Amino acid sequence: MPVWRELRRLSEAPDGVLRAAFEAAYNGDWAGFIRIMGGATSARKTAPIRLATVWNDKPNRYDEPTGEQTIGVEYGGIIVSTRIQKWTVGAKRPLEFCQ
């Protein structure tokens, strides 16, 4: 579940439901996490914690808009960022030796 993976990226979370879900994910308690999210048969749109995303028009390598990009998790209007570093793919730099 994408929310599980994003919660595991956090180092800490605010109190309440978000904190309980973070601790369940951090400790590997899948059953506890599913209970917090509303149960195994609940619809994803009724889950209390969702992915926070933003639209990105920057073209990808096929010259299409990148689309929705995950920035963190959201609970009750609170967004906790999990994507702090920006990674890029580029050419490998040559090794520099100390003199």
Residue 97 lies in a domain: no
Q: Which domain holds residue 32?
A: 2-81
Sorted by sequence, the CB contacts under 8 Å of residue 12 that are 6+ apart come out as: 22
pTM here?
Answer: 0.76
Q: At what angle do helices 17-26 and 2-9 cross, to 10 degrees?
A: 90
Residue 99 lies in a domain: no
Residue 8 lies in a domain: yes
Quick one: average pLDDT of 15-36?
94
φ, ψ for residue 33 (rounded to 5)?
Answer: -60, -45
What's the pLDDT tens digit per position in 42-95? 998 999 999 999 999 989 889 999 899 999 999 988 899 998 887 778 887 777
* Count of CA atoms in the C-beta half-sphere (13 A) of 4: 15
Q: How confident is the model at residue 1 (pLDDT cuts 50, 70, 90)?
A: low
State how many domains the chain has: 1
Residue 65 lies in a domain: yes
Residue 10 lies in a domain: yes
Strand spans (E) along 1-99: 50-59, 65-75, 78-81
Residue 96 lies in a domain: no
